[in-house]
């Protein structure tokens, strides 16, 4: 069965108008994808923004796009957002902070988002997840940014839903964060200095080609549980990239290559010169040391889609006639909780062989008093949860109530329900602590979400926040030793 654009739609048979969800709908690829799909499918756009829901129905704009509020750090939100969905696109990356204080690495945040999405998709009976990730060079020393993309790909497929992974380099399209950086450099600076390590090859691809490939894969069983490199017809260095962008803009750029320049300093200067957040620029700069070239364009060969030439893609991206901008997210509903100072903290721990996340959670409550020699911290543990006390105080510091309804052996969940250090009823989602197995049970993520401390913010940052990271670091090393002991006995 073919649609009017000639795309294979075998799996759509029997579904009058398939329901498609887009996670990352407010990004430049997401907005363009909505424009591509809205005539053919019921499109559900997911956004973290609070959405007005008059008459208890999801907010729908005049293009027929249904917007659903979804914080992917919340599994409950993800489950509600994917109800009734047939196919789901995953276009999410979490390099930007998601709370007033975010403790943890962006790659661990990405794992939680992807795992919640995969669990919710499995529960909703989603037929396929299509993931747009990054090209992966053939090297062992991958940057954190590129390694994270692979981990997300693995995680999305860990709960049984077929995944199609598309690996792209630089996507040339209006609104793209990396493309905006190129435009600002080409427009704002005639003379530039590049370190030699930034002279690696890159393989850009035009946004319209990415959209065609995403659409082609949806409902196409041949692409299930497959990974594909995608790219345009041109491969060039980053120096050539900027010079060619400048040429399209009728400007001239002169770039001098120097032997060495510290990556951390390059990140700071690039962020400053282009007005881009350091949290966004730093992982991108770290990836520039790798050649980002698609090695096999077998999917595009099957589609007979060589792609737009780079200059044509840039001309289209800077054209004011691009239609994708017509679709905008709804105006958010006002929520006073948006101003609440909250904490999100995520640490990755090694999971000893033969253990599960539930064991890690219970063992933690028994291990932590020993860290303080049993004199300062006391933990009360029962079937309803655990409660932390400090010597000389009768009231608990923190009450954690175990959620029997929402927990499993691979993801025990505790709600923050009281204690001197917790401020309650401040956010739409309850404060919570979870222990989550990821990456084929190799690791456990220990995550605190939506926690609102009671002590003054500056004092919290200087005391409790640092203490938590120190304690989790000690616990992580302890689990590594246990894992090593088990492996040594096995040998």
Q: What is the pLDDT of residues 116-161, one digit of tens each?
A: 999 999 999 999 999 999 998 877 777 778 888 999 999 999 999 9
Q: What is the pLDDT of residue 94?
A: 63
Cβ–Cβ < 8 Å for 343, 97: no
Segment 441-468, tens digit of pLDDT: 999 999 999 999 999 989 999 999 999 9
Mean pLDDT of 54-78: 77
Tokens 């979400």 correspond to 449
pLDDT digits (tens, 9 = 90+) for 284-300: 777 777 788 998 899 99
- Enter the tokens of residue 135: 């090209």
Task: Tell which residue, 220, 241, 227, has the closest CA to residue 178.
Answer: 241
Q: What is the pLDDT of residue 339?
A: 61
Can you tell me the mean pLDDT for 179-191? 87
- Is the pLDDT reported for residue 193 higher than 70? yes
Please enumerate in sequence order all residues whose Cβ is within 8 A of that of 52, keeping only pairs 6 or more positions apart, or say none.
59, 330, 331, 332, 333
Instruction: Indicate if the pLDDT at residue 75 is higher than 60.
Output: yes
The residue among 49 and 480 whose pLDDT is bigger is 480
pLDDT at 9: 47
Mean pLDDT for 215-232 is 96
Whole-number pLDDT of residue 98: 54
pLDDT value of position 99: 56
Q: What average pLDDT does the segment 334-351 reach?
A: 79
Question: Where does the pLDDT of residue 472 fall: very low under 50, low under 70, confident under 90, or very high at 90 and above?
Answer: very high
Higher pLDDT: 117 or 322? It is 117
Tokens linked to 130: 């299509």
Average pLDDT, the chain: 86
Position 4 scores a pLDDT of 34
Q: Which of 151-155, 267-271, 294-298, 419-423 has the lowest mean pLDDT?
A: 267-271
CA distances from 323 to 241, 331, 367, 435, 455 (A): 25, 20, 58, 44, 49
Q: Is a pLDDT exceeding 90 seen at residue 333?
A: no
Provide mean pLDDT across the span 413-432: 92
pLDDT digits (tens, 9 = 90+) for 23-52: 999 889 999 999 999 888 999 999 887 766
Measured CA to CA, the distance from residue 156 to residue 344 in angstroms comes to: 22
- Domains of the chain as residue ranges with CATH: 10-326 (3.40.50.720), 336-490 (3.30.530.20)
Can you give the pLDDT at residue 52?
64
Among candidate residues 222, 18, 114, the one with its CA nearest the CA of residue 438: 114
* CA 116/CA 370 separation, integer angstroms: 33
Which of the two residues, 450 and 5, has the higher pLDDT score? 450
Which is more confidently placed, 372 or 415? 415
pLDDT at 352: 96
Q: What is the pTM of this model?
A: 0.89
| pLDDT value of residue 214 | 97
Q: What is the pLDDT of residue 62?
A: 61
Residue 97's pLDDT band (cuts 50, 70, 90):
low
Distance CA 339, CA 334 (A): 11
pLDDT surpassing 90 at residue 21? yes
Instruction: Compute the distance between CA of residue 430 and CA of residue 74 in angstroms, rounded to an integer.
Output: 10
Looking at the predicted structure, is the pLDDT value of residue 3 above 60? no
Query: How many whole angstroms separate alpha carbon 416 and alpha carbon 109?
Result: 20
pLDDT at residue 436, rounded to an integer: 97
Query: Which of the pair, 375 or 483, is modelled with greater confidence?
Result: 483
**Residue 179: pLDDT band with limits 50, 70, 90:** confident
Q: How far is CA 335 from the centre of its chain?
A: 24
Task: Give the model confidence (pLDDT) of 358-413 as tens digits.
Answer: 999 999 999 998 887 667 888 999 989 999 998 888 899 999 999 999 999 999 99
Most confident range (mean pLDDT) of 91-95, 99-103, 310-314 is 310-314
**pLDDT for residue 480:** 95
Give mean pLDDT, residues 348-353.
96
Give the other-Cβ count within 10 Å of 131's Cβ. Answer: 26
Read off the pLDDT of each residue in 405-423 and give the average, rounded to a whole number. Answer: 96
Q: How confident is the model at residue 336 (pLDDT cuts 50, 70, 90)?
A: very low
pLDDT value of residue 272: 82
């Amino acid at each position: 069965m073919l649609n009017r654009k000639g795309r294979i739609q075998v799996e759509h048979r029997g579904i009058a108008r398939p329901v498609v969800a887009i996670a990352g709908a407010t990004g430049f690829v997401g907005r363009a994808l909505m424009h591509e799909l809205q005539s053919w499918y019921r499109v559900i756009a997911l956004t973290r923004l609070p959405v007005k829901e008059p008459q208890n129905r999801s907010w729908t704009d005049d293009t027929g796009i249904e917007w659903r509020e979804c914080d992917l750090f919340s599994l409950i939100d993800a489950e509600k957002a994917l109800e009734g969905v047939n196919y789901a696109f995953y276009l999410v990356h979490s390099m930007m902070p998601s709370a007033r204080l975010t403790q943890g690495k962006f790659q661990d945040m990405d794992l939680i988002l992807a795992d919640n999405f995969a669990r919710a998709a499995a529960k909703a009976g989603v037929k396929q997840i299509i993931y747009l990730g990054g090209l992966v060079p053939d090297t062992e020393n991958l940057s954190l940014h590129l390694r994270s993309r692979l981990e997300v790909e693995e995680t999305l497929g860990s709960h049984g839903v077929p995944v199609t992974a598309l690996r792209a380099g630089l996507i040339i399209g209006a609104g793209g964060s990396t493309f905006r950086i190129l435009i600002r450099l080409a427009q704002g600076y005639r003379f530039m200095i590049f370190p030699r390590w930034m002279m690696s090859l890159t393989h850009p691809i035009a946004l319209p080609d990415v959209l065609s490939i995403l659409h082609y894969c949806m409902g196409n069983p041949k692409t299930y549980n497959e990974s594909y490199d995608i790219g345009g017809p041109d491969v060039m260095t980053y120096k050539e990239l900027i010079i060619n962008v400048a040429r399209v803009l009728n400007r001239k750029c002169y770039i001098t290559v120097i032997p060495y320049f510290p990556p951390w300093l390059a990140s700071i200067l690039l962020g400053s010169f282009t007005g881009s957040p350091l949290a966004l620029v730093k992982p991108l700069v770290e990836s520039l040391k790798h050649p980002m070239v698609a090695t096999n364009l077998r999917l595009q060969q099957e589609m007979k889609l060589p792609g737009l030439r780079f200059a044509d893609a840039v001309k289209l991206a800077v054209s004011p006639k691009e239609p994708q901008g017509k679709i905008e997210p709804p105006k958010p509903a006002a929520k006073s909780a948006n101003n609440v100072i909250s904490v999100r903290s995520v640490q990755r721990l090694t999971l000893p062989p033969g253990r599960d996340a539930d064991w890690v959670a219970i063992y933690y409550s028994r291990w932590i008093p020993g860290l303080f020699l049993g004199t300062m911290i006391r933990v009360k543990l029962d079937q309803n949860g655990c409660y932390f006390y400090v010597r000389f105080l009768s009231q608990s510091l923190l009450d954690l109530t175990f959620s029997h309804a929402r927990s499993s052996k691979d993801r025990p969940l505790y709600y923050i329900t009281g204690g001197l250090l917790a401020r309650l009823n401040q956010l739409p989602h309850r404060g919570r602590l979870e222990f989550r197995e990821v990456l084929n049970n190799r690791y456990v993520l220990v995550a605190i979400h939506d926690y609102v401390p009671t002590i003054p913010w500056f004092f919290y940052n200087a005391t409790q926040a640092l203490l938590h990271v120190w304690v989790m670091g000690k616990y992580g090393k302890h689990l590594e030793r246990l894992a090593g002991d088990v492996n040594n006995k096995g040998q």
